[in-house]
A and B are shown apart, each in its own frame.
Chain A
Amino acid sequence: MPGERREAMVTLLFRLASVVFALLLTALVLVLVQAPPLEAFRLILKGAFGSPKKVADIFVIWIPLLLTSAGLLLTFHAGLWNIGIEGQIVLGAVFATGVLRYLQDTTIAPTLALILAFVAAALGGMIWALLSGVLKVYGGVNEIFSGLGLDFVAVTLVLYLIFGPWKRPGVGSMSGTEPFPRELWLPTLEKMRLSPWALALALVAWIMVIVLLQRSYFGLRLRAVGRNPRAAYLMMGLSPARLTLLAFAICGVFAGLAGAIQVTAVYHRLIPAISSGYGWLGLLVGMLVNYSPIWIGPVAWFFAMLNLGSIQLPIVLKVDSTLAGVLQGTLVYSFLLGEGIRMKWQQRRREIGESE
């Protein structure tokens, strides 16, 4: 129908306008700190695409971000704000580190040790996520607050471990725990930090979420509970409690795996900022894709590119590298703004159409 195609065109135009608006706002912020905006944007692109190694590094960021975004899309569909995701990544990293530290002095095959570390990480992330879930379902505590509190607890746990029981020989430092022996590193491409295994894992998670949400009864039920838990319970006999816990659990597993990848493929040890903020970023990705699982791939990739590209900004332009965060936040906000204006505009057009 031409009408429908028109609506789709309008939607696309509004999204493009949101991107332009976000770029303009960010340029304004750059002008405020007396930095040249175009030069900054050019440097971001150069920082992300300057060499094959840099392009590979985009994927290094993309992998954990895709995992967290995929998990978060499930909790979003269940109507949940899983802000505890940062803590879930951290717990995954802690569990993986714990297992590897225990096994590195044994004669166990490295492959098996890595597999066990990933299983433990999935479990760690799941436990942390289920804490939020149980507090929500059986304690009436909003998941935003429990998740946030648990985030702080998780970060503190890492600091405690790094400066306490797991400290480096001599004195503990912010640089993290002692690195693992090389055979316990997740195999990566030569001279790069990109691991094909991690990439495969993230892709599987992405496809799984697409299938779950678009092709399964589970996805349908999840959405019903997310839209209106009471109605879903009364009319369809669905148990909001069970679905809520399940969504939390799967998301926690994905986040835990992201933590394991950070530990085994990227840093090869536990560091204080092990989650790298990929949980928060995943929440932004989730908002930007508007519930569409296919889009988390490209959007997460774009965000990963921005993150990588802005790393060298402090050195070259003397501005803070949080510029990536400013740009990402502005993008999501102007997207919400654009959606709101578009819906209002289309509603008004329909009203005019009806009155004629």
Chain B
Amino acid sequence: MDTLLVGLAGVVALSTPVVLATLGEILTERAGVINLALNGTILLSAMTGFAVAVNSGSLLWGFLAGGTVGMTVALLVTFTSLTLGQSQVAVGFVLTLLTRDLSYFLGNPYMGKQGPRLPHWPLPVLQDIPILGPLLFRHDLMVYLSYVVILGMWFWFFYTRPGLILRGLGERPAAAYVRGARVRELRYLYAALGGFLAGLAGPAYSLSVKAGWKGTISGLDGIGWIALALTIFGGWHPLRGALGAYLFGLLQWLSLVLQPQLKDIPSQVLQVAPFPTMILLLLFVNIGNTEWMQRTLAGLPPEVRRLVERALRALQVSPPAALGKVFREE
């Protein structure tokens, strides 16, 4: 029982960077901007955060540097697409490759160096709650910050007026504009904030759960794409997005734990398991939207149809209507 609890607590810690990146992307996309540069951003911010922390000896500067890298990349995406009218996907994709190569190139001198690490900081009182205490409250500061972000973003989105306007930016920017929202400025703002959050995911690895910088074998390449997929899987909802990130962490942990038990399955297969899972999850949440599925459903007997439809609708997600579209203030 205790070992299980310790393992699950590890899942919470390991999932934290993914939670931060996913929520950063959710915030950005809710405002109508796709930041496809997430994968490279996490690598570059992990490297930069580590390098800055090593040189300055300050963890705080390390995290701020990581966040700043994320914000800068997000602002580049936003500027080149919203202001200069270039394809958001193209810009994001180029920047994700560029930042990845930059992190390996600039990070070369820091490979394998010793660096500071965020200390454990069990929360007084809360850590003594049975089960929940060891599971949630015996971690480091970043983990607690991620809880605040999850709940804060959920509250912000659905229970505040600025949150309502934010959702409007991604759904019906024209309507938001008519009501007096400064669409372009707000999109810049939320993209920058989302980018900062995603940028924290880097140091959350390199200064905490996977401390250090190991270049191409850091094992961080691919995380950003997972976070982008989780944004879709989570239906752009902070709670569902975070849940997806924890499920992903659980899956990674299970593949490690089960490896000795499943000797017949080569270890490589289990390591890559998250990626086909990602495709399957996206399939489940999207298939209800396809014309093919709707046509098939129409041909089914009513009782079966209702059942299938209900199942699909429970999973189904649809993106903010104006996601990735440029809005011109006329």
Chain A interface residues (CB < 8 Å from chain B): 29, 32-33, 81, 83, 135, 137-142, 144-146, 148-150, 152-153, 155-156, 159-160, 163-164, 280, 283-284, 287, 319-320, 322-323, 325-326, 329-330, 332-333, 336-337, 339-341, 343-344
A141-B286, A156-B271, A159-B268 known; A149 vs B276 contact (CB < 8 Å) = yes
Please name 13 further chain A to chain B contacts, defined as beta carbons within 8 Å, in addition to the given A152-B222, A329-B97, A340-B80, sorted by A numbering: A29-B102, A140-B288, A140-B289, A144-B89, A145-B282, A156-B268, A160-B266, A164-B266, A325-B97, A329-B94, A333-B98, A336-B90, A339-B86
A33-B108, A139-B283, A283-B93 known; A329 vs B98 contact (CB < 8 Å) = yes
> Which residues of chain A are within 8 angstroms of B102 by Cβ–Cβ distance?
29, 326, 329
User: Chain A: which residue is nearest B97 at the CB level?
Assistant: A329
User: Which 10 A-B residue pairings sit nearest by Cβ, starting from the closest?
Assistant: A340-B84, A329-B98, A140-B286, A325-B101, A156-B272, A149-B275, A152-B275, A149-B279, A320-B108, A140-B290
> Which residues of chain B are within 8 angstroms of A137 by Cβ–Cβ distance?
290, 292
Residue B105 interfacial (CB < 8 Å):
yes
B94 touches A332 (CB 8 A): yes
Q: In the bound complex, what is the Cα–Cα distance between A339 and B104 (angstroms)?
A: 28
> Which residues of chain B are within 8 angstroms of A163 by Cβ–Cβ distance?
266, 268
B94 touches A33 (CB 8 A): no
Q: In the bound complex, what is the Cα–Cα distance between A159 and B97 (angstroms)?
A: 23
> Which residues of chain A are within 8 angstroms of B108 by Cβ–Cβ distance?
33, 319-320
B97 touches A284 (CB 8 A): yes
Number of interface residues of B (CB under 8 A): 45
Chain A contact residues: helix, strand, loop or mixed:
helix
Q: In the bound complex, what is the Cα–Cα distance between A138 and B293 (angstroms)?
A: 8
Q: In the bound complex, what is the Cα–Cα distance between A108 and B44 (angstroms)?
A: 51
B93 touches A81 (CB 8 A): yes
A138 touches B84 (CB 8 A): no
> Which residues of chain A are within 8 angstroms of B109 by Cβ–Cβ distance?
33
Which of B93, B105, B278, B293 has a CB less than 8 Å from the CB of A319?
B105
User: Chain A: which residue is nearest B278 at the CB level?
Assistant: A149
A135 touches B272 (CB 8 A): no
Contacts between chains A and B (CB distance < 8 A), count: 135
B105 touches A344 (CB 8 A): no
Residue B209 interfacial (CB < 8 Å):
no
Residue B13 interfacial (CB < 8 Å):
no
- Give B110 Cβ to nearest chain A Cβ, in Å: 11
User: Chain A: which residue is nearest B84 at the CB level?
Assistant: A340
- Give B256 Cβ to nearest chain A Cβ, in Å: 16
Residue B287 interfacial (CB < 8 Å):
yes
Chain B interface residues (CB < 8 Å from chain A): 36, 80, 83-86, 89-91, 93-95, 97-98, 100-102, 104-106, 108-109, 222, 225, 228-229, 232, 266, 268-269, 271-272, 275-276, 278-279, 282-283, 286-290, 292-293
> Which residues of chain B are within 8 angstroms of A326 by Cβ–Cβ distance?
98, 101-102, 105
- Give A29 Cβ to nearest chain B Cβ, in Å: 7
A336 touches B106 (CB 8 A): no
Q: In the bound complex, what is the Cα–Cα distance between A279 and B176 (angstroms)?
A: 41
B272 touches A29 (CB 8 A): no
A139 touches B94 (CB 8 A): no
User: Chain A: which residue is nearest B108 at the CB level?
Assistant: A320
Q: In the bound complex, what is the Cα–Cα distance between A219 and B222 (angstroms)?
A: 34
Q: In the bound complex, what is the Cα–Cα distance between A33 and B108 (angstroms)?
A: 9
User: Chain B: which residue is nearest A162 at the CB level?
Assistant: B268
Q: In the bound complex, what is the Cα–Cα distance between A138 and B289 (angstroms)?
A: 10
> Which residues of chain A are within 8 angstroms of B86 by Cβ–Cβ distance?
336-337, 339-340
B286 touches A139 (CB 8 A): yes
- Give B295 Cβ to nearest chain A Cβ, in Å: 11
Q: In the bound complex, what is the Cα–Cα distance between A340 and B93 (angstroms)?
A: 16
User: Chain B: which residue is nearest A342 at the CB level?
Assistant: B84
- Give B309 Cβ to nearest chain A Cβ, in Å: 16
Q: In the bound complex, what is the Cα–Cα distance between A283 and B95 (angstroms)?
A: 13
- Give B46 Cβ to nearest chain A Cβ, in Å: 16
Q: In the bound complex, what is the Cα–Cα distance between A207 and B283 (angstroms)?
A: 37
A322 touches B94 (CB 8 A): no
Q: In the bound complex, what is the Cα–Cα distance between A33 and B106 (angstroms)?
A: 7
- Give B165 Cβ to nearest chain A Cβ, in Å: 27
> Which residues of chain B are within 8 angstroms of A152 by Cβ–Cβ distance?
222, 272, 275
A153-B276, A160-B269, A280-B97 known; A139 vs B287 contact (CB < 8 Å) = yes
